A and B are shown apart, each in its own frame.
Chain A
């Protein structure tokens, strides 16, 4: 065996985990960006964020029947339902002073518990199965390796979603308001934009993102009793790793989490249970501001 062949052999087994890390990372990005918006822009600590994802996931499980039409329907219903839940949360949060994280945490955590119980009551305690469109059910060959077709397509769709999100934030008036609210919230309030409106808008957008992630990501992080906790946990880790100010930081953190959870596990299976949190602790110790700087740099 030549040295070159030995070299590719050493990398070759990790191609698929690395690719899967991108799929997982992009899913975490779409799911977490809503929480980052809430926290960074509206200064709302929304512990019910995982619930919004779960709403999308359960919608996917209930509506998907293996056809493309059902996927479009599930996506529409999931996004609308989760966005509506976000607006409802914004309404509930009205009496709670902005920036009072303890009250917000208690309120949204209560909502998360109650909502989680409602989902279990409605859909049962078993993890429901998600049926993706038949055309995506199989697997395809990627560089000599077999990989699930759905995940490959998901990478493309999630990348498009991320790009669209970037354009909305950079190029639209709503995006400008959002950026302004991060930089100087008092001035935005002086300009006559009601904080309540920003709050409702941001929570609705966060819900829509989480709902979309829940529907599209259901075959990867499926709906179940633990889904809301898992997604909230991953999103909080994104906040810790990526900071609140920039989309680039959020994306970087989400991709890092994806790779740690797949490539990291493939490289160091014995460390699998604590790899993610070891990485989080290391980032906090070395660079408490997160992987990327503030928003302006994005």
Chain B
């Protein structure tokens, strides 16, 4: 037998393997949860492993911080917090949620990082009639009767900053983002609102440029197009390691002097440390910044810094607020806080005081009607930090 098989068969093997690799890298009944002793079971589902581990950890720590600063009680009842790992998405989230809802029979569920996980868990929530006070991912949902979110809808950051960009940028704006549901929503929020008030996109065909996700790690070809388009500013949304690549390469590229506006996740949390100097001066829009000047925020940030390195993120804040929502709702649900009673009580909360400023649930989407802030990456002591430089629109529907 010859030691070397014919070249054709090896080329075929290589081609087949390439094909395989490409496809594989593409991803209660009566009174549960309460007991006679006045305690209540709450389930927290968040990504404690995998791609979104950093966000999941912030969400767990934000909720825990509220409990720690309120004697471990919500609505006057001792909380038995059961934490489960969401993993990378619905595939791992649904079994974990099913255990929390059916075996542990929690009275309410909170957390959940991914929008896909929320969509996957919703049928189990409807079956067990338990409310979800989600603190991050929020997909398009038909029925939100038991689903509440303390975070935001994905198209709101862009909608909130559009007027500011229109007023301050003299010329057209180039819109670019990652090619997946979250990216489409974030960019659509901006381009729709921007177009309505007469803003013009610099993109060649007048439509947002979407980059393959997560395959794109080199943004230089896109920067060349932005340069050629003559744009006066760029609007973008990236998160995680794509945000680090985008910002670092932007700062070294030929468009480094074009102002960069972004949804706040571009420079939020750990990615800002990784970006370092490259992130300086970037404008972003978010519903929270650790330097907001109000009593709730000062207490929140001080309590956070006593336990953790660095400042809290919007993820930790949303989870902290989810605990605050449950605190008031369980208290208002009376002597027998069934999941049904808690759900009804959440709908009647009205204004909620929070470190981000006062907000309330929208009656139609069950997500916050809240104020958005314009932030800029500036020097804060020894580190760079997102500093609030102004208020933007109050958004929610």
Q: Which residues of A contact B (CB under 8 A)?
A: 12-14, 16-17, 20, 24, 39, 43, 45, 47, 98-99, 101, 105, 125-127, 129, 138-139, 145-149, 182, 185-186, 189, 195, 220-222, 224-226, 229-230, 232-233, 236-237, 239-240, 243-245, 261-266, 269, 272-273, 277, 280, 284, 288-290
Cβ of B335 under 8 Å from chain A: no
Tell me the interface secondary structure of chain B in the complex.
helix
Chain A's closest residue to B176 (CB) is: A269
Given contacts A101-B10, A233-B22, 11 further A-B contacts (CB under 8 A): A13-B228, A45-B10, A45-B13, A146-B253, A236-B15, A239-B11, A244-B10, A245-B7, A263-B221, A269-B209, A290-B11
Does the CB pair A226–B220 fall under 8 Å?
Answer: no
In the bound complex, residues from chain B placing their C-beta under 8 Å from that of A224 are 241
Shortest A102–chain B CB gap in Å is 9
Chain B's closest residue to A14 (CB) is: B224
Does the CB pair A98–B225 fall under 8 Å?
Answer: no
Shortest A29–chain B CB gap in Å is 16
1/0 contact string of B235-256 vs chain A (CB within 8 Å): 0000001001100010011101
A244→B54 CA distance, assembly (Å): 43
Does the CB pair A288–B8 fall under 8 Å?
Answer: yes
Q: Which 3 A-B pairs have the closest CB atoms?
A: A13-B228, A266-B221, A146-B254
Shortest A42–chain B CB gap in Å is 9
Does the CB pair A139–B228 fall under 8 Å?
Answer: no
Cβ of B31 under 8 Å from chain A: no
A57→B2 CA distance, assembly (Å): 37
Chain B's closest residue to A273 (CB) is: B212
- Given the contacts A99-B1, A266-B222, A266-B225, A126 and B53 also touching, CB distance less than 8 Å: yes
A13→B270 CA distance, assembly (Å): 34
- Given the contacts A233-B18, A239-B11, A269-B225, A221 and B254 also touching, CB distance less than 8 Å: no
Chain A's closest residue to B8 (CB) is: A288
1/0 contact string of B1-34 vs chain A (CB within 8 Å): 1111101101101110110011011000000000
A289→B218 CA distance, assembly (Å): 30
In the bound complex, residues from chain B placing their C-beta under 8 Å from that of A99 are 1-5
Does the CB pair B256–A139 fall under 8 Å?
Answer: yes
- Given the contacts A13-B227, A127-B241, A236-B14, A148 and B8 also touching, CB distance less than 8 Å: no
A39→B228 CA distance, assembly (Å): 43
Chain A's closest residue to B251 (CB) is: A139
Cβ of B394 under 8 Å from chain A: no
In the bound complex, residues from chain A placing their C-beta under 8 Å from that of B223 are 16
Chain A's closest residue to B216 (CB) is: A272
Which one of A126, A138, A189 lies within 8 Å of B270 (CB-CB)? Answer: A126
A39→B14 CA distance, assembly (Å): 10
Does the CB pair B15–A126 fall under 8 Å?
Answer: no
* 9 A–B pairs (Cβ distance < 8 Å), ordered by A: A16-B254, A125-B51, A146-B256, A147-B253, A186-B3, A229-B21, A240-B15, A262-B221, A266-B222
Chain A's closest residue to B17 (CB) is: A236
Which one of A125, A189, A264 lies within 8 Å of B53 (CB-CB)? Answer: A125
Does the CB pair A272–B249 fall under 8 Å?
Answer: no
Chain B's closest residue to A269 (CB) is: B209
A257→B151 CA distance, assembly (Å): 42
Query: Which residues of chain B (199-233) have a CB below 8 Å from chain A?
Result: 209, 211-212, 214-218, 220-225, 227-228
In the bound complex, residues from chain B placing their C-beta under 8 Å from that of A129 are 244, 274
Query: Which residues of chain B (112-164) have a CB below 8 Å from chain A?
Result: none
Chain A's closest residue to B278 (CB) is: A137
Cβ of B348 under 8 Å from chain A: no
Shortest A227–chain B CB gap in Å is 10
Does the CB pair A284–B15 fall under 8 Å?
Answer: yes
Which one of A220, A229, A233, A239 lies within 8 Å of B218 (CB-CB)? Answer: A220
